[in-house]
Structure 1
Amino acid sequence: MSAEPIGSPFRVFVGYDSREDIAFRVCEASMRCRSSIALDVRPIAQADLRARGLYWRAKDPLASTEFTYTRFLTPYLAGYQGWALFCDCDFLWLADVAELLALADPTKAVMCVHHDHRPTEDTKMDGAVQTTYPRKNWSSLMLFNCGHPMARSLTPQVVNTQSGAYLHRMQWAADEAIGALPSTWNWLEGSMPKPVDGTPAAVHFTRGGPWFENWQDVDYGDLWLSECAALDAPGRT
């Protein structure tokens, strides 16, 4: 059974940070150019959500991005209907997102890669503090079953008032309702071995990517730079 009504674009919400506009643009472009299905890609921009009265949390000094908490509004923004994908902006897509959507399990509220990520660095990106906590990076890519009761529990009120631990550790969903995706869909640069054959389906530059100073020498950084250079190429969507 199709995860979305026939003819409906697959909705993708990408975390947007004003410091990383180019990362968002490459993320979107790399996904679109490899997708065999129609996509509706939307940035989750904190400033816009504040203006709409959907986000009013005070600034968290430990939040490394502007979408640290706003990501959990994805089911609400999707109207609590169908399937929708959230991913951080620091992703480079190297496979067809339709193959990810094909893994959607209607018995689950959310699906993600079940990382056991324990970074050794003290800082990441542009000097942000690196933190370690249970289920770290699970929420950096989430395939939401937006109509599921547990996904529907992510109301603006909950997203604005619950703790970071409650949200990022997915305490809003029962363990059995959190489906597992293959790790290739959220391959953490600097923390995971390269595939023996080919490339990951989606590279996540979680430590920092080539758009930051001193982060050019990273695995698959050359592919990101190629994607960036192609952004304004004729015929590129």
Structure 2
Amino acid sequence: MIDQDKKKVVVVGASRGIGAAVAEHFSIRGDEVFSVSRSPSVSGVWIQADISKPEGIAAVADAIGNQTIDALLFMGGVWEDGAFTEDYDFFKSSDQETRFVISVNTIAPIEITRTLSENLAKAKNPRAIYMGSVTGLDHSASVEVANTASKFGLRGAVQSLRLALRHKKIGFTVINPENVGTEEVMLDIKEGRFSPQIPIPMSDIISSIDWLLSLSCNVDIQDVNLYQR
């Protein structure tokens, strides 16, 4: 007998950081996980794809095919070299770097959502959840221009996707956290690149996603903003 509570989820950016933790969480729970990343993922069915390029988006579409998808979890993200440290210099950030950051953080979520919209529409209560940042909120920009622009763009794109795909009954949410306790962030704090702080626990990110997926199809949540206490 098929467990009706089990879900099929696509996790983008599943090889490290937040995406790896999220993919592992759903795999342990027994859900069917498709893990999208350039380098191998330790959880789920790995879909090798460079989402900064059109052929990477196509690879995701080919791998998923016509399957029903309950949730698209876009957890991927990139930023400029030296971002969030004293080493960052806007004038040393190349045009190529700017375009890469925006292509991964803003364009890829739009294109992957368009690509998988029919798969999501087949589910009873589909949701698309994206990892944003507090820097994408009003009056919260950081000096990392490309990353901030990409996160503002992501929120705007998701708000527009909600309108463009309203007839498909997909729930759309952007989670906007301050620093999250990934291995990379913890190392930056330990080695002094970040100021002493207690980052948001990974468990709280996962709990937020679980909560969103537990809501009825009658509820949509535009943003979940998570701040360090």
TM superposition score normalised by structure 2: 0.39
Of structures 1 and 2, the one with the larger relative CO (CA 8 A, separation 6+) is: 1
| Structure with greater helix percent | 2
TM superposition score normalised by structure 1: 0.38
